[in-house]
A and B are shown apart, each in its own frame.
Chain A
Amino acid sequence: MCNLLPGEALSSVNRFVPSCHALNLREMNPRHRNFHTPVGRPGTRIGATIRKLLVCCAPLATLPLSGFAAGSAIDFNRDVRPILSDKCFFCHGFDEHERKADLRLDTAEGATAVLEAGDGQQSEFLYRIGTDDEDDLMPPPDSHKSLSPEEIAILEQWLAEGAHYDEPWAYVAPEKTQPTAVSDDAWPANWIDRHVLARLDEEGLSPSPDADPVTLVRRLHFDLIGLPPEPATVGVFLAAFANDPDSAVSDLVDTLLASPHFGERMAAYWFDLVRFADTVGYHGDQDHNISPYRDYVIAAFNGNLPFDQFTREQLAGDLLPGATLDQKIASGYNRLLQTSHEGGIQAKEYNAIYAADRVRNLSAVWMGATVGCAQCHDHKYDPYSIKDHYALAAFFADIHDTGYTGNAVPTQRPPEILVLSPEDQQQFDALTREIEALIPQKTQAKVQKLEAKATRLGKQREQLVQAAKGEKENAIAPPAAPPSTNDTEQDAPSSADKLAALDARITANASALQTTASAATRAEWRRLLTKRAAIEKRGRKTMITVAKPPREMRILPRGNWQDDSGEIVQPAVPAFLPQIVTDADSRPPDEAGKGTEPVPPRRATRLDLANWLCDPDQGIGGLTARVMANRFWYLCFGTGISRSLADFGGQGEPPANPALLDALAVEFLDSGWDVKALMRLLVTSRAYRQSSIATPEMLGRDPHNQLVDRQSRYRLPAEMIRDSALAISGLLVRDIGGRSVRPYQPAGYYRHLNFPKRTYDADEGDEQWRRGVYVHWQRMFLHPMMRAMDAPSREECTAERARSNTPTAALTLLNDPTFIEAARVFATRILSEGGESTPERLDFAFREALGRPADPTEQQLLTELHDQSQVDFQGDPEDAAEFLAVGRKQVASQGDTVALASWTTVARAILNLSETITRN
């Protein structure tokens, strides 16, 4: 830890921190929580504490004072930290338990001794990294780590230039700056472009030319709504673009942002982050009730719910005053984790597993941090202690999820609420009011009790009558019972007496019932109840969060749930970050300030945590904004400005354009966390509009396109591949929201599921052709098409999906019945709407799928394919019929079987084109 006292670092801080980060003595005083407030922008800094801890970049007295200057070749965070972090911090970093030789290189203070050069002597540091002596060499050979000559050169240069440290970039408050000059003032469309161009200027590169409008209209559609454009839309856009490109783009963007499909597209990504799925994920992988949460997220993006409120509602919707139904549904976020319902699980163990899971997800999604790594020990690379891990987990200790075993599908995981459609909800409420007017709530219970009693007594009477009847028959039947000698002596009351007594009770009960509610009232009451139950049945249950008394949370040494020796921790945010204040001031007035007794701090809640995540002044709002801005950039450019979408720590990649990322984060904050505005800004930039064609030189120089001298091209995500095929064919059902849907799936795919055994029934109705975002997400066996296209199982946070290019994916697109059916239905449209001649039809098909006509080569290749297919199917019309029987959709075709089958073959080819499934 840094023991720097206020004042000690004054000179150094002013010298080593760029002027906008400069501190002064007054600012170092921790009593001034808002001390770092740049002029004109109140409080975007990430907090006082971190600055105090990590800015302790004391210069080495022996090093030249002129070392650091703007434009210097070495940038600590960009060039040096990744090397030190990867090669040194494991033993010489934050984790004091692992720390060797009492040396830490993650702070300037800790490193001083080894970085200082003696009189005419090489520093210990340089000696150790350069020596031939294996005993002295660092990193030691047995670590299997080594420094490359390039890395050694960087470190040497760093020392030569003053060996200064910068704060970890992620924890410095973002600042919005504007490049002073760019090489071409005509190129930028908005301020983003000035940053992009300034960065390209630095590298001596220039931007790519604009993409053609067809590419652009497709790109905008995929990025904003996840669907290909309809040909008519393409036509309108091309005309408008020819007239005025800027306003054409601007108008289209407005339309797309207003589309209800925008929410679906954004939600699909959010679901990867928060690991939204339809099943519990462990062992029996039973379904759980959660689909209304999906509708909530889609609606939130469509309604442009500010991201800070979106955060609060998910983490703590239940704690918001007067929580609405939507906010309760949103709190289902806390229930999304993998859970086990296996018999024989140990509650204590699973409480620990769930706690760690929540910390992993929270820190990855909002903080871009891997706090999960501190489950067993202090973090090796970032300043998260094991205590920080458990203190974060303690925020969630009021959620109780263990104790629900059993093999029901869906599984029982209270608390859950019933969610109805707005219309149903209205009816439901009206019925409830009618019911209550008829019999008040409290009385209803009494009526139910009395009715139950009436039923019970009725049954008893029945039994008694039956028994008496039996006795009588026995008495009549020969042989006659031996004559009783003592008729007057009876041990038990006679049947008749029993019956009389029972009848009296029945009458009394009936009378009580009648007094409480008349028979007519009760009949009407029952009618209404039945009606309401029918509505209820149409509803969907969803898991929500309801706070309970928090469990005790201990630090688990080495993550061992059986070890009770660890310290008990209270909910708290990581110690090096600004802290949540829950002192007397934040308590209700009637509790605060009474007498002289110090008021104990209130236990911090999930709501405090959510507020802290989004508060740029007292919390880490600046970090959260940066994490999310980086991801929105990824959604529009195919890669993050920092490529590490969920790790802004020492082992993550620093941003390739820090000023741009900062400016975007500030923009996001200043806009009040306006997601649509940020997306709009990104897609209306000139950078966005560039061509995605990369030369081999570009690929060699910047394979991941971090400098943005072009747009990116990549295979569409799984859902968009499905949606595209359905949209192009005309099959797509564009309803928003609802339960999960089940597309065709290979028979027996769930045969490895058990407890209970599962069969899969593909949807027979229109649900079959709904968008991928609604597909049933079976964690253990994700739909094979989704899996083949790299959709994650959603067991853990996935900030970036892989984009593989495998034979399995090829087999899926070629042979999955969903795509065969789509090809057939597409073919019927080609035949009915595409004109009469083959060239006309091919042009039509290309325009539908790709927004452009087929070129002569494509015409020729597809004509050949069509003709050959026609010959094949003519030779065997039964094959054609079989081929056309794939899929449930019945569509009348204008052509005969052979024509339709051969055009279906052509449609398959088009749906399989690289261009069809590529965003470029």
Chain B
Amino acid sequence: MNPNQLNRRAFLSNLGLSLGSAALSGLMARDIGAATPLTASTGLPHLAARAKRVIFLCMAGGPSHLETFDYKPELERLHDQPMPESFTMGQPIAQLQGQQLKAHRPMCSFDRYGASGQEISSWLPYTAKLADDIAIVRSMVTEQINHDPAHTYMNTGTAISGRPSMGAWVNYGLGAESENLPGFVVLTSVGGRNPQPIASRQWSAGFLPSKFQGVQFNSTGDPVHYVRNPAGVSSSQQARLVEAIGKLDGHRNTRLADPEVTTRIAAYEMAFRMQASIPDLMDISDEPQHVLDLYGATPGDGSYASNCLLARRLAERGVRFIHLYHRGWDHHGDLEKYMDVCCRLTDRPTWALVTDLKQRGMLDDTLVIWGGEFGRTPMVQGKGLAAGRDHHIKGFSMWMAGGGIKGGVTHGATDELGYHATRDVVHVRDLHATMLHLLGIQHDRFTFPFQGLDTKLTGVEKARIVKGILA
């Protein structure tokens, strides 16, 4: 056998990665640990990045495209009539299984806004003000019709558990810009309809090293689990403890020379810095009143408005991927009532976030994405004032704004009943490819070896960049 056979193999398997040092240090982190923040590798970005970070505004539950961005007058005509079977035959169906399928007219009015004249629902008056900033995609499709797997699909590109979330991918590829904060932060909001459950799987690092997983920041209670000192322990006491642990570990390591111990000392130091920085970051009461007013945020209320403001603060501090969840959008019934509730809670803060970023010159390099895990059926569920819509995956709407996005564009279309995406269909993997592209990452070169495959966020099917919405 050749000398250094194993080392050569280790070397080769590392070379097998499509990434340079990011992947290498990622592997090292998995195998022997590394707490030092990862910075962009020599291999990445592959292209000139248009955006440095992503803020993903997830409207969990699945907002109706037919009451937000996809006006279908034909549904007025067909209201209360049976849905033509040509649309629904053989299609997957969720709660309407075994029921008569009837069309339902749009439950709101639409108008055209901005110089671009984008068509937007009357429920979104603030988003309407952003008409010229956002690119609306009306032709989204996904493959999972139930909430949990649909979120998993939207976040990881597959419905199988154990795969990395897009935030983890981005964090892995580009690293965090901050030494005191994780690169991938998740914020969830209170308020709205009976909220969608959401699993920590949605921000999991999957098979990527754990350090790339999303960290949940809580706008109420402890901002991050175990980030506060134990009761009765002052910051200076905690500092002395961390110092003592570092010295004791360092002393022991003079005999061992274990690089893992060195890493651990650094991790404790960063943990201590996080203890100092995160509570400050999460306390928005130091924002001027006019900013709080812009968002409609009240410090400590855990609302979507507060979280939008926090998202800006996280973005300012170098967090790479910020994932916000508002969990009130599963409108099987009482759609009118709950659209009103949810839009009141989210419309203005969303506008405020984009506006605030713009005013600070940050929108240019921040990609903002708005949407749910799927849309809702043209068919009605329930009756009368209690009418709602079921889950729908064959056509729905999302929008993007900011870094590298052409504002004022409507991309793609669904059929006349808003059932199937028919023009310029954008699959979830296309959304991922486009997002990565804007971050300077070529999606088909961005891989991690798992179960023998060079696994990609965009999966094995061919993904396309949605060129029509690029600036």
- Closest residue of chain B to A381 (Cβ to Cβ) is B452
When each residue 210-234 of chain B gets 1 if its CB lies under 8 Å from chain A and 0 otherwise, what string results? Answer: 1100010010111011111111111
B249 close to chain A: CB less than 8 A: yes
Q: Interface digits, A793-816 against B, CB 8 Å rule (1 contact, 0 not)?
A: 101100000111111111110111
Task: Tell me the A323-382 residues at the B interface (CB within 8 Å).
Answer: 338, 340, 342-346, 349, 353, 370, 372-373, 380-382
Given contacts A811-B226, A908-B241, contact A203 B12 (CB under 8 A): no
In which size bucket is the chain B interface?
35 or more
Instruction: Check A150 against B12 for contact (C-beta < 8 Å).
Output: yes
The chain B residue sitting closest to A850, CB to CB, is B252
Among the 9-residue stretches B121-129, B144-152, B355-363, B430-438, the one with 4 or more Cβ atoms under 8 Å from chain A is: B144-152
**Across the interface, do A695 and B226 meet the contact criterion of CB distance under 8 Å?**
no
Can you name the residue of chain B whose Cβ is closest to the Cβ of A747?
Answer: B221
Partner of B267, one of A285, A702, A807, A908: A807
CA–CA, A815 to B199, complex, Å?
A: 24
State the Cβ distance, A18 to closest chain B Cβ, in Å. Answer: 15
Contact B145 A808 (CB under 8 A): no
Decide: A701 and B4 in contact? CB cutoff 8 A: yes
Is there an interface contact between B197 and A284, defined as CB atoms closer than 8 Å?
yes
How far is A748 from B217 in the complex, measured between Cα atoms in Å?
A: 12
Q: Which residue of A380, A796, A805 contacts B160 across the interface (Cβ within 8 Å)? A: A796
Q: A806 to B327, alpha carbons, bound, how many Å?
A: 30
Q: Is B276 an interface residue (CB 8 A)?
A: no
Interface residues of A in 672-716 (CB under 8 A from B): 693-696, 699-704, 706-707, 713-715
The answer to whether B427 has its CB under 8 Å from any CB of chain A is no
A678 → chain B closest CB, angstroms: 25
Q: A73-B1, A282-B149, A702-B6 are in contact. Are A861 and B244 (CB under 8 A)?
A: yes
| Cα(A204)–Cα(B1), bound, Å | 11
- Bound-state CA distance A901–B241 (Å) is 13
CA distance A872 to B242 in the complex (A): 16
B261 at the interface (CB under 8 A from A): yes
B97 and A879 form a contact (CB under 8 A): no
A802 touches which of B209, B258, B327 (Cβ 8 Å): B209
Query: Are B227 and A346 in touch, CB under 8 angstroms?
Result: no
B334 contacts the other chain (CB 8 A): no
B34 contacts A by Cβ under 8 Å: yes
Across-interface contacts of B93 in A (CB, < 8 A):
346
Contact of B288 with A by CB under 8 A: no
Decide if A806 touches B237 in the complex (CB within 8 Å).
Answer: no
B199 lies within 8 A of A807 (CB): no
Known contacts being A283-B147, A810-B267, is A862 close to B226, with CB within 8 Å? no
User: DSSP class of A's interface residues: helix, strand, loop or mixed?
Assistant: loop
- Whether A281 contacts B452 by the Cβ 8 Å rule is no
Enumerate chain B residues within 8 angstroms of A343, measured Cβ to Cβ: 95
A754 is contacted by which of B196, B242, B252, B453 (Cβ under 8 Å)?
B196
Identify which of A103-111, A591-599, A911-919 touches chain B.
Answer: A911-919
Given A700-B7, A804-B210, also A713-B230 (CB < 8 A): no
Type the 1/0 row for A736-775, where 1 means its CB is closer than 8 Å to any CB of B. 0000000000111101111100000000000000000000
Minimal beta-carbon separation of A791 from chain B (angstroms): 10
Contact of B225 with A749 in the complex, beta carbons under 8 Å = yes
A880 at the B interface (CB under 8 A): yes
List the B side residues contacting A886 at CB < 8 Å. 230-231
A151 CB–B CB distance under 8 Å: yes
What CA separation (Å) do A908 and B94 show in the bound complex? 52
Contact assessment for B32 and A703 in the assembled complex, using a CB-CB cutoff below 8 Å: yes
Confirm or deny: B247 has a beta carbon within 8 angstroms of a beta carbon on chain A.
yes
> Within 8 Å CB of B34, what residues of A?
805
Q: Mark A537-559, 1 if CB is under 8 A from B, else 0.
A: 00000000000000000000000
Q: How far is the CB of A326 from chain B (nearest CB, A)?
A: 30
For A751, list chain B residues within 8 Å (CB): 188
Q: What separation, in Å, do the CA atoms of A72 and B136 have in the docked complex?
A: 63
CA distance A421 to B271 in the complex (A): 45
Taking CB atoms, residues of chain A closer than 8 Å to B268 are 807, 810, 814, 912
Name the residue of chain B whose CB is nearest to the CB of A806. B211
Task: Answer yes or no: A140 CB below 8 A from chain B CBs.
Answer: no
Number of A residues, CB within 8 Å of B: 120
CB proximity of A563 to chain B, nearest CB, Å: 10
**A73 / chain B contacts, CB cutoff of 8 Å:** 1-2
List B contacts of A230 (CB < 8 A): none
* Contact A806/B6 with A285-B197, A872-B237 known, Cβ cut-off 8 Å: no
The segment from B13-21, B64-72, B78-86, B307-315 found at the interface with A is B13-21
Q: Are A883 and B230 in contact (CB under 8 A)?
A: yes
CA distance A151 to B228 in the complex (A): 51
A652 and B452 contact, CB distance less than 8 A: yes
Residues of chain A within 8 A (CB-CB) of B449 are 651
Q: CA A766 – CA B241 in complex, angstroms?
A: 30
Answer whether A342 and B251 are a contact pair too, CB < 8 Å, given A802-B209, A805-B34, A814-B226.
Answer: no
Q: Closest residue to A753 on the B side, CB-wise?
A: B197
Contacts A370-B451, A806-B210; A701 near B197 (Cβ below 8 A): no
Give the residues in chain A near B275, CB-CB below 8 Å: 811
Whether B241 pairs with A812 at a CB distance below 8 angstroms is: no
The answer to whether B198 touches A752, judged by C-beta atoms less than 8 angstroms apart, is: yes
CB distance A204 to B3 under 8 Å? yes
A695 cross-chain contacts in B, Cβ below 8 A = 257
Q: Is the CB of A649 within 8 A of B201?
A: no
- How far is A861 from B240 in the complex, measured between Cα atoms in Å? 11
Contact partner of B146 among A344, A820, A861, CB < 8 A? A344
Interface-lining segment among A313-321, A506-514, A518-526, A781-789: A781-789
Q: Chain B contacts of A283 at CB under 8 A?
A: 146-148, 197
What 1/0 mask marks residues of chain A from 137 to 158 whose CB sits below 8 Å from any chain B CB? 0000000110010110000000
Q: Which of A723-731, A827-835, A863-871 contacts B (4 or more CB under 8 A)?
A: A863-871
Residue of B nearest to A646 (CB): B451
CB–CB A814/B242 < 8 A = yes
Residues of A within 8 A of B245 (CB): 909, 912-913
Task: Flag whether B194 is at the interface (Cβ < 8 A).
Answer: yes
What are 28 inter-chain pairs, A to B, with CB distance below 8 A? A82-B12, A86-B16, A151-B12, A344-B146, A349-B92, A353-B159, A695-B257, A704-B6, A713-B256, A714-B260, A780-B201, A795-B161, A795-B201, A796-B161, A802-B210, A803-B33, A804-B211, A805-B264, A814-B268, A815-B227, A815-B229, A816-B226, A820-B230, A883-B233, A905-B237, A909-B248, A912-B268, A914-B253
Additional A-B contact list (17), CB under 8 Å, known A370-B452, A914-B253, A914-B261: A144-B444, A148-B12, A285-B197, A342-B148, A346-B93, A703-B10, A754-B194, A754-B196, A784-B226, A805-B29, A805-B263, A807-B274, A809-B267, A857-B251, A885-B232, A909-B241, A915-B249
Chain A contact residues, CB within 8 Å of chain B: 73, 75, 78, 82-83, 85-86, 144-145, 148, 150-151, 202-204, 281-285, 338, 340, 342-346, 349, 353, 370, 372-373, 380-382, 562, 647, 649-653, 656, 693-696, 699-704, 706-707, 713-715, 746-749, 751-755, 779-782, 784, 787-788, 790, 793, 795-796, 802-812, 814-817, 820, 857-858, 861-862, 864-865, 868-869, 872, 878-886, 901, 905, 908-909, 912-915
